[in-house]
Structure 1
Amino acid sequence: MRVELTYLWRFGRRPDLERPTRFTEWVQWRKLNDRSPDQPQLLDKVASKKLATHLLGREAVLPLLWTGEIMPMDRPFGAAAMVKSRHGCKQYRPVRNDAEWRAAARRSERWRRRSYGGWLDEWAYRDIPAGLMAECLLGDGRTLPVDYKIYVFGGQATHIQVHLDRASDHRWILHDRDFRQLVPSRDEPPPPRSLKAMLEAAEILSQGRDFLRVDFFEGCTGPLFGEFALYPGSGLDPFGADWVDFELGRLWHAARKERSRATKGGDVRQFRQDAFGNAIVGFPSPWTDAQNR
């Protein structure tokens, strides 16, 4: 009931949870129906880096500088960093000096005391250990780096959501796989240099799943994995045009249908284990082949 009422409050309409057709409805459906046991591990920002390192290699993952349950008052490293909770979303503070570290330490107490995701029914956050982390802050240290969020349906990367100026005038633009804007915007960010590798890495990390969003930054030598998202915007962020909601919903439905067909038909694919010991399935990849050589 709460999921339906929250959706109604946000969009002025009830979601169809029996036969979802919109992307935003599929996100609500996932909250209520998808209990895949590895979802907490995907959303755990520390554990997900372990998975990405296992599948892509250390050089393709944004480095961690520190992890722990409580931030010490004295900064344990000298580099600029982004401090985050490992068990929540939108809980972060950039740290460039000792004063900002101490301010982040005080704020982090609030993050640690509160469980995340309950009021929006994002159940997968529930079992993530409460904790904190600091990862490298890319760029010049004054502005936050551009964030590239890849939408992957049925193992195919289809869209790139580019986030700009997250610390001040946060806005995002959705592109198709060829980096064409779906809805015209005043911003026209260029594609990342490593777009091709970024899409390929996102597909490797999303094998065997109906939908997963995989977030990257542009590094000096290629893409750097940041984190996963199972409930983008909690399914409550409107798109720039209504048809986009339907188009992404169609892709989710098709991916789920194909996955069901392949499972029932005994489709022969490559099975292996991820870093958590869970079986994952997908076709062999040139990226992983290269990593294994």
Structure 2
Amino acid sequence: MLDYKKIFKRRRTRSKILRLLSFVPDKTMLKIQYKLKLGRKLHLSDPKRYTEKLQWYKLYYRNPLMKKCVNKYTVREYVKSKGLENILIPLIAHYKWADDVNWNELPDSFVIKTQHGGGGLNVIIVTDKSKQPKESVISKLRYTVDRLSKTSGGREWAYGEMETGIVVEQLLINQENPKAGINDYKIFCYNGKAKYIIVDVDRYIGHKRNFYDRNWNNLHITSDCPAAETDVPMPEKLEEMLKVAEKLSEDFPYVRVDLYCVDGKVYFGELTFYPWSGYVQFMPDEWDFKFGEDFELRRYK
């Protein structure tokens, strides 16, 4: 397995290389990336692994709703259409371009992000805007908006040809340990059935990740992120979170529903159709097959 991140250490450099290779057909590029990142051949004709099925999903599954749901702004309409407006994080502002951001009208703390997603590079947490230079924030947003192209680096169909935009939302705080950030509950859902929960903890002071089944039994899996040394307490609103996840996932064969639970209230995070872009090594490796068992693709072939 080639550790390409050691060769190309800067994420911006890796993004530029992927854009330069946009002429390579999607199927060919996915096979190359899968081999480079996971060290094995990608089987698309009869995929068994979860990571293989995600590559198939990118290439062949086309549901127009996906484009609405990966957009950080329009997904709010989708959540409302499911009768779940109460779980939306309060919206502070929405802008078209980074330079449209009205810094003076924003509160002291907030989360600001590009609406086309793209991971941590596209999300900025502002805990005290008087201590965070406006230009550094705008410059980062400007870069992430400007680099938006018709081709996703991971060849993720749902993210192609998206409108630009900036979303500003209320900052949710971990009152017990503000520096650690809030727990992020990522729920694997298959055809509207929630089956597994991945919880990310201490995102900003030593990121850890645990895997659980829907009954909160620790599955003792590690991935690209180390597991927490101790069990993460079951969230008090777990049953509500599972019901919410199943409601939001019922239109798709597979989607990861990301939720938060803060001060006894459930909040919506995002819908992710291609977690980790399908390039993650689970240990034990058997879980790559187990996570793929309920990922039904035959009816869509």
Q: Specify if TM > 0.5.
A: yes
Residue of 86, 92, 106 corresponding to 2:123: 92
Instruction: Give runs of aligned pairs for residues 130-141 of structure 1, distance below 5 A.
Output: 130-139=164-173, 140=175, 141=178
Residue of 72, 92, 107 corresponding to 2:101: 72
Is 1:218 the counterpart of 2:261 in the alignment?
Answer: yes
Q: Which residue identity lines up with residue 107 of structure 2 in the other structure?
A: G
Alignment match, 1:109: 142
Alpha-carbon offset, residue 130 of structure 1: 1.1
Alpha-carbon offset, residue 134 of structure 1: 1.4
Alignment match, 2:181: 144
Alignment match, 1:236: 279
Count of paired positions? 257
Residue of 153, 162, 168 corresponding to 1:119: 153
Residues 185-213 of structure 1 show CA distances to partners (whole Å, capped at 9, x for unaligned) of 42311111111000000001111311011
Q: Is the 1:149–1:160 contact (alpha carbons within 8 Å) kept by the matching residues of 2?
A: yes
Q: Distance in 1 between matches of 2:105 and 2:55?
A: 40
Residue of 24, 39, 45 corresponding to 2:51: 24
Give the direction of change, closer, same or farther, for the CA distance of 1:59–1:208 in structure 2 (3 Å limit).
closer
Q: Is the 1:63–1:135 contact (alpha carbons within 8 Å) kept by the matching residues of 2?
A: yes
What secondary structure does 2:268 align onto? strand
Alignment match, 1:55: 82
Q: Is the 2:49–2:292 contact (alpha carbons within 8 Å) kept by the matching residues of 1?
A: yes
Alpha-carbon offset, residue 143 of structure 1: 3.2
Q: Distance in 2 between matches of 1:201 and 1:164?
A: 21
80-89 vs 98-107, which moves further: 98-107
23-32 vs 98-107, which moves further: 98-107
Is 1:15 the counterpart of 2:50 in the alignment?
Answer: no
Alignment match, 1:164: 201
Runs of 4+ that moved beyond 3 A: 140-143
Q: Distance in 2 between matches of 1:146 and 1:176?
A: 17
What secondary structure does 1:59 align onto? helix
Q: Is the 1:149–1:213 contact (alpha carbons within 8 Å) kept by the matching residues of 2?
A: yes
Q: Is the 1:43–1:124 contact (alpha carbons within 8 Å) kept by the matching residues of 2?
A: yes
Q: Which residue identity lines up with residue 210 of structure 1 in the other structure?
A: P
Q: Which residue identity lines up with residue 247 of structure 1 in the other structure?
A: K
Alpha-carbon offset, residue 74 of structure 1: 2.2
Q: Distance in 2 between matches of 1:62 and 1:174?
A: 25
Q: Distance in 2 between matches of 1:58 and 1:37?
A: 21
CA RMSD of aligned residues (A): 1.8
What secondary structure does 1:241 align onto? coil
Is 1:81 the counterpart of 2:84 in the alignment?
Answer: no
Alpha-carbon offset, residue 73 of structure 1: 5.5
Q: Distance in 1 between matches of 2:83 and 2:263?
A: 16
Q: Distance in 2 between matches of 1:190 and 1:64?
A: 29
Query: What fraction of aligned residue pairs are identical, expressed as a percent?
Result: 27
Q: Is the 1:49–1:226 contact (alpha carbons within 8 Å) kept by the matching residues of 2?
A: no
97-106 vs 57-66, which moves further: 97-106
Alignment match, 1:290: none
Alignment match, 1:278: none
Q: Which residue identity lines up with residue 177 of structure 1 in the other structure?
A: R
Alpha-carbon offset, residue 79 of structure 1: 4.6
Alpha-carbon offset, residue 138 of structure 1: 1.0
Structure 1 gap ranges (5+): 261-293
Q: Is the 2:200–2:208 contact (alpha carbons within 8 Å) kept by the matching residues of 1?
A: yes
Is 1:249 the counterpart of 2:292 in the alignment?
Answer: yes
Q: Distance in 1 between matches of 2:190 and 2:133?
A: 38
Q: Is the 1:197–1:222 contact (alpha carbons within 8 Å) kept by the matching residues of 2?
A: no
